[in-house]
Amino acid sequence: MRRSTPLALLLLVSLLLFAACQPAGIPEAPTPDQIPAGEQPARPPATDTTHAPATQEELTATPWQWTALTETAPANQSVVPDPQNYTLTFADDNTVAIQADCNQVAGSYTLDGESLTIQLGAATMAFCGEGSMDQLYLSLLGRVSGALVTETGDLQLVLGDAAGQMQFTPFSALGIGPNDISLDTQGLPYSWQPVLVPETPYDASMPPGPTGLPEHIEILFGVTDPADRQPSDPIMYIIPVNAYRAQWDAAGDPSVSRTLDRIEQYAFTMPSPAPTSGMPALPSSEIAGYNDLAVQISRAVPASELNLLSATQTGYRFVGRWAQDANPVTNQGLRYVYQGFTNDGQYLVSFWYPVTTDAAPADVSQIPQEDWDAFNADPMGVISTTADALNALPPADWEPDLETLDALVASLEI
């Protein structure tokens, strides 16, 4: 996040990585079989043996990036450096847009059962450099004779004369995909599923307030489809920061940029004493009203436990709620909330998980009349007193244990 990531974070990450990492070499020739034997792709080619002929719906469902080439004579399997530079976008009208490194090609395709052929059309003719594979890529596309989809949802383009296959994976301008995500749920009673969610355009027409998200990843718990998620279900968002700012700024609404700036400020320098209300959090779709209670504010990953494999080194967590009006504090609506940034500052990580404690009534029906009378006499005073009591609880007095949720957050790897 070049716009606002503090220099100190960048220097810290750079120094810690310097001793262990060396930049990847640039291929010196335009053929994938010259890639060093030890170099591995970001995602290995599919190895499952169950394939089905690709349908037009599957071809057009996503852009594709070229990740690997399997050749039969001689037998060889190679990975493709910079697969995002070699993409295919099939359209319903049987046209195909091809990115071949620095060149763009317009083409068409014919799909008939297992048979697929690609006809190359008008193209730019730029020289992409000695290491580019653009000419090989286009040559191979002209030899495609079929298309298969694997069990994992990848695409294999079969070359004519049984010469081999080109492997493709779904491509997203987001820069990361669901298969790049690793998470340990720490024994909590949910399975987890990362999904790529298309952009939701900015919309200020519906209460309680504006909504909108760029293309992002959601980690769902207990369900596999965002449409099946209930508002109280846990969820983790991984949102590209610059795209999020740009979407709302373009609509003339600076609130997301302002909130991102506050999240960043709190992530690095939490006020002392910590506030008990008004904590910044995103996305707006998780918020209805004002944050009138924020307790147990802490870092999910202590600075003394720096782990460069974790994507959540920079952030904070708290237990809070959002309300339209002043109400007594109960377990209804209480959530563990994590807000922070990936180590490179490019993505906002936002995690929401419902929590309860025996120190609070289950709901307003469990509140004695004398407590109601005290609340009606001084609503904010009672909420403040409740916040002090909840802040005094150890993490284990919450369900789930707050340290278990901290460990879940810290386990995120991208």
Q: Which helix (H) or strand (E) holds 259?
A: helix 255-268
Answer with the residue of higher pLDDT: 43 or 66. 66
**Is pLDDT of 21 > 60?**
no
Return the pLDDT at 27: 36
When pLDDT is cut at 50, 70 and 90, the band that residue 383 belongs to is very high
As a whole number of angstroms, the longest Cα–Cα distance in the chain is 85
Asked if 38 contacts 61 with a C-beta cutoff of 8 angstroms, the reply is no
Q: Which of 33-47, 201-215, 297-311, 324-338 has the lowest mean pLDDT?
A: 33-47
Which residue(s) pair with 238 in the sheet?
217, 349
Across 199-208, 260-269, 365-374, least confident range? 199-208
- Same domain for 391 and 247: yes
**20 part of a folded domain:** no
Confidence of residue 282 (pLDDT cuts 50, 70, 90): very high
Q: Are 282 and 301 in contact (CB under 8 A)?
A: no
For residue 287, which phi and psi values (nearest 5 degrees)?
Answer: -120, 130
Is there a domain that residue 348 lies in?
Answer: yes
Q: How many helices (H) and strands (E) does the chain have?
A: 8, 21
pLDDT per residue as tens digits for the range 159-198: 999 999 999 998 877 888 888 899 999 999 999 999 999 8
Q: Alpha-carbon distance 105 to 131, whole Å?
A: 19
Question: Are 133 and 264 members of one domain?
Answer: no
Q: Does 365 reside within a domain?
A: yes
Domain of 361, in residue numbers:
178-410
Residue 61 lies in a domain: yes
Asked which of 190-204, 246-260, 289-303, 392-406 is least confident by mean pLDDT, the reply is 289-303
Domain annotation covers residue 230:
yes
Fill in the DSSP letter of residue 182. Answer: B
Picking from 321, 325, 317, the residue whose alpha carbon sits closest to that of residue 333 is 321
First to last CA, the chain: 16
d(CA 106, CA 264): 43
Residue 357 lies in a domain: yes
Report yes or no on 253 lying in a domain. Answer: yes
Residues 186 and 126 in one domain: no
Taking the C-alpha atoms of residue 161 and residue 304, their distance in angstroms, rounded to an integer, is: 59
pLDDT single digits (tens) 109-162: 999 998 999 999 999 889 999 999 999 999 999 999 999 999 888 999 999 999
Question: What is the torsion angle, in degrees rounded to the nearest 10, for the CA atoms of residue 58, residue 61, residue 67 and residue 70?
Answer: 10
Q: What is the CATH number of the domain that holds 66?
A: 2.40.128.270
Instruction: Choose between 1 and 117: higher pLDDT.
Output: 117
Higher-pLDDT residue of 324 and 14 is 324
pTM of the predicted model, to two decimals?
0.66
Please count the CA atoms within 13 angstroms of the CA of 390 that sit on its side-chain side.
29
pLDDT band at 16 (very low <50, low <70, confident <90, very high): very low
Nearest to 216 by CA among 203, 200, 234: 200
DSSP string, 196-222: EE--EEEE-SSTTS-EEE-SEEEEEES
Both 187 and 127 in a single domain?
no
**pLDDT above 50 for 255:** yes
Report CA-CA distances (Å) from 229 to 92, 156, 194, 221: 30, 32, 13, 8
Tokens read off for 104: 């763009």
- Phi and psi torsions of 304, nearest 5°: -75, -10
Strand 103-112 and strand 144-150: the pairing is unpaired
Please give the DSSP secondary-structure letter assigned to residue 207.
T
Domains: count for the chain: 2
Domain membership of residue 35 (yes or no) is yes
363 Cβ contact partners less than 8 Å away, ≥ 6 residues apart: 330, 331, 332
Distance CA 340, CA 298 (A): 12
pLDDT score, position 301? 77
| Domain termination residue (choose one: 170, 204, 219) | 170
Region of 360 please: left (phi>0), alpha (psi -120 to 50) or beta: beta
**Shared domain check, 382 and 316:** yes
- Going by pLDDT thresholds of 50, 70 and 90, the confidence category of residue 48 is very low
Average pLDDT, the chain: 86
Least confident of 194-198, 299-303, 329-333: 299-303
Calculate the alpha carbon distances from 390 to 293, 313, 379 in Å. Answer: 10, 25, 17
Considering the chain, what percentage of its residues have pLDDT values greater than 90? 71
Q: Are residues 41 and 87 in the same domain?
A: yes
Q: How confident is the model at residue 50, as a pLDDT? A: 65
Of 170, 196, 219, which marks where a domain is finished? Answer: 170
Structure confidence at residue 111 (pLDDT): 97
Structure tokens that stand for 413 in this block: 């790897």
Same domain assignment for residues 273 and 144:
no
For helices 241-250 and 255-268, angle between their N-to-C axes, nearest 10 degrees? 150
Same domain? 254 vs 390: yes
Domain boundary among 101, 136, 170: 170
